A and B are shown apart, each in its own frame.
Chain A
Amino acid sequence: MTPTVVWVHGDCLAPDGPALRAFPAAPAVFVWDDALLRRRLSLKRIVFIYECLLELPVTIVRGSVAAEVAAFAAAHGARRVATSDSVSPGFAAICRRLAATLTVEVLAPPPFIPPDVPLDLRRFSRYWQQAGPLALQPTPPDDA
């Protein structure tokens, strides 16, 4: 199997998150993002996130995210980084930078609405007309 590391980020701090679950033996890293810290991340939030991290099998570092993840992968001789999906544009940008030197595998958490259902996002009411009935269905056992 390709040597892999897991990149854990602030949008998926679950011990059973998809990347940690798919690669339970892989070394994992979390990076306190210097850019985000400069943009006024409060101490309240830092403590909250830190408490989440203490339940996860991760190495915690601080710096520039893509550079630190790449260095962590190199230190472990890994060619692939696995992570959990996020909608944020900052996440997409970091993935693009990582993809320059590593294979990036993005894993999705169990979906709230089945994927690939086309949804009208103009207003919540339109979205919910389509999504509401699907959201009332429990997660199928093999997706959980």
Chain B
Amino acid sequence: MSAPLRRSFADRADLVAYVREQFPEAAARDATVSPIRGGQRAARERLARLNPVRYAATRNALDGAVTGLSPYLRHGVIGLAEVRDAALAAVRRAADAGKLINELGWRDYWQRVYRQIGRGIWRDREPLKTGWPASAYAAALPDDVAQGTTGLACIDAFSQQLRDTGYLHNHARLWLAAYLVHWRRVRWQAGARWFLEHLLDGDPASNNLSWQWVASSFSSKPYWFDRDNLERLSGGRFCRGCPRAGDCPFAGDRAVLYRRLFPQLPPEAPR
């Protein structure tokens, strides 16, 4: 058996210094450490603040009352059943916890699909419904997205937050994924690999299958968005000082945008 690693540290800085020394290959790639702390105590503190009613009303907004529990759920520090039970205990009627429990259901669902298909999660589940052949998509992650230098304030901020904290709000993930796959026409696997490397909650099931959902290989149509949608859910914080506000690739009439992204598809049914 190899020699055990240390278990006792003066403080977090001491632990981080030790980890950098013990895992030099990871530190050489990127020595950043997230402010999000591991452990069940940290998870339970978040669990104690659960507010399923506010969650349901605000979860789509970047500053909404989301739980931040994903890294803990991903690593089984707490379980879906425990979070569900805490959500039910925090409301008067079970239905008031329905939205949060529905989102927990997504994790359970992806896990079940993963159990069924295993490494098949790296392959398209179904053909893309974008009108583009698979060969139209680039294999590599573009550098400007990886480095956060596209000039698009939103995309660059998401890229930076991903690398600095290992966490992104669900909508930031959706927008970043849709931007890469549909605007930059990059294969979803390249984005999925990038996310998996940095996310603290990085999980082959939730991650890859969500990317496939955005790309349309595991859904009936591609997920895309426009500037109104992003501006509203982000409280305008990115668009305000964005150097590319004048040539925003997300701005404009939805039908025109759709035609630009998916010229081979019939016009989208109006919503």
Contact = CB atoms under 8 A, between A and B. Distances in A.
Interface stretch (B59-67, B179-187, B197-205): B197-205
Interface in A89-116: 89, 109-113
Contact of A127 (B75, B84, B95, B109): B109
Contacts of B77: 13-14, 52
A1 interface: no
Interface in B1-53: 1-7, 9, 12, 15-16, 19-20, 22-23, 25-27, 29-34, 36-42
A2 interface: no
A87 B111 contact: yes
Number of chain B interface residues as a range: 35 or more
A121 B34 CA distance: 35
B80 interface: yes
B119 A89 contact: yes
A46 interface: yes
A3 B109 CA distance: 36
Interface stretch (B96-104, B136-144, B237-245, B259-267): B96-104
Given A50-B15, A62-B5, A42 B198 contact: yes
A128 B101 CA distance: 11
A132 interface: yes
A48 to B, nearest CB: 4
A136 B94 contact: yes
Contacts of B23: 32, 37, 43, 46
B131 to A, nearest CB: 21
A52 B109 contact: no
A142 interface: no
A interface SS class: mixed
B38 A49 contact: yes
B113 interface: yes
A62 to B, nearest CB: 6
Interface in A121-144: 121, 124, 127-128, 131-132, 135-136, 138-139, 143-144
Contacts of A46: 19, 23, 26
Contacts of B85: 138-139, 144
B141 to A, nearest CB: 13
Contacts of B165: 44
Contact of B1 (A44, A61, A86, A132): A61
Interface string B92-127: 001101100110111011011111101100000000
A72 B1 contact: yes
B269 interface: no
B75 A11 contact: yes
Contacts of A144: 81, 85
A136 B98 CA distance: 7
Given A54-B15, A60-B7, 11 more contacts: A11-B76, A13-B77, A40-B29, A44-B33, A47-B15, A48-B38, A51-B38, A111-B81, A112-B79, A127-B105, A136-B88
17 contacts: A13-B38, A13-B77, A32-B5, A42-B26, A46-B23, A47-B16, A52-B40, A55-B39, A62-B2, A87-B205, A112-B108, A124-B105, A127-B105, A127-B109, A136-B98, A139-B82, A139-B85
